[in-house]
């Protein structure tokens, strides 16, 4: 796993190179994970089809993987600096396409707004523009409190809001028991949750210059589709696609519908 320095530490990232693309014939693709995830857990299952066409860069944000920092408060600015650092290190001679999921979508939007020279095309999946509405604040405050007080209830709440009802039923009793017994979440996730509670990138959205596809997930109870509509409304000339029936993390199980939208946008 390569590493690159940034202002307060070092950013670790995964770099998957497509065969025969050593000269960078295709635009690289940067994938930015969300809260509690990391480069491998969130995107490991989709790297195969994506790397057939282009190099894939997957940074770990602070609180995930082996990316290090001073241990202070995390902000959207922190994440944007880390995404920019990894992109420059892995693709020094050309801009990249940038895809962010959930909190990673917030980070990706901020990166594109503050570093327009780095981003050719931008894709924001299940993101949001601000955590100031009553429902969103209640969600993140509940998530934060459960994380601090009861990790078992935290995992149960996350499963019930992160996946659609059909996806949870699809796990079966054994799958749910296995999920509840795993070691997730990482202790450092709490810092990312707190950062999510303080998100407000509305002032940055008009600065985004890259052609942008916003993908909302119609059955998302964690980050409701209204968050994607906010991003679309704030980003000039962006395009909004809503995938009906999809929960926030359903694409972890079946990514084809999402990948179809992503590939079509990147190929145009």
Q: What number of CA atoms fall less than 13 Å from residue 206's CA on the CB side?
A: 2
Residue 112 CA to residue 67 CA, distance in Å, equals 21
Eight-state DSSP code of residue 62? T
Dihedral of the alpha carbons of 52, 19, 211, 243, in degrees to the nearest 10: 20
Which of 220, 228, 232, 238 is an active site residue?
A: 220
Residue 157 CA to residue 185 CA, distance in Å, equals 12
Catalytic annotation present for 248: yes
Contact 250, 171 (CB under 8 A): no
Strand partners, 58: 14
Residue 118 CA to residue 137 CA, distance in Å, equals 32
Which of 12, 33, 232, 248 is an active site residue?
A: 248
Which of 102, 164, 228, 238 is an active site residue?
A: 102
Catalytic annotation present for 69: no
Catalytic annotation present for 220: yes
Q: What share of the chain is helix, strand, coil (3-state, %, to 5)?
A: 45, 20, 35
- Kindly list the catalytic residues: 102, 220, 248
């Amino acid at each position: 796993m390569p590493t690159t320095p940034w202002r307060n530490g070092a950013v670790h990232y995964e770099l998957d190179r497509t065969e025969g693309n050593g000269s960078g014939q295709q635009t690289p693709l940067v994938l930015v994970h969300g809260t509690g995830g990391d480069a491998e857990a969130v995107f490991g299952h989709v790297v195969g089809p994506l790397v057939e066409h282009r190099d894939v860069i997957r940074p770990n944000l602070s609180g995930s993987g082996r990316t290090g920092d001073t241990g202070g408060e995390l902000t959207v600015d922190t994440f944007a600096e880390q995404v920019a650092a990894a992109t420059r290190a892995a693709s020094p001679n050309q801009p990249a396409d940038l895809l962010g999921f959930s909190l990673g979508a917030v980070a990706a939007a901020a990166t594109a707004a503050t570093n327009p020279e780095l981003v050719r095309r931008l894709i924001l999946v299940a993101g949001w523009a601000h955590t100031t509405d009553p429902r969103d604040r209640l969600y993140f405050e509940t998530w934060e409190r459960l994380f601090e007080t009861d990790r078992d209830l935290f995992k149960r709440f996350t499963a019930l809001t992160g996946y659609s009802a059909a996806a949870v039923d699809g796990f079966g009793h054994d799958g749910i028991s296995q999920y509840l017994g795993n070691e997730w979440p990482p202790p450092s996730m709490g810092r990312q949750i707190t950062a999510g509670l303080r998100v407000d990138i509305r002032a940055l959205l008009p600065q985004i210059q890259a052609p942008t596809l916003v993908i909302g997930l119609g059955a998302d109870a964690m980050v409701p589709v209204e968050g994607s509509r906010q991003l679309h409304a704030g980003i000039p000339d962006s395009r909004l696609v809503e995938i009906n029936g999809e929960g926030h993390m359903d694409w972890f199980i079946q990514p084809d519908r999402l990948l179809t939208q992503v590939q079509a946008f990147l190929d145009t």
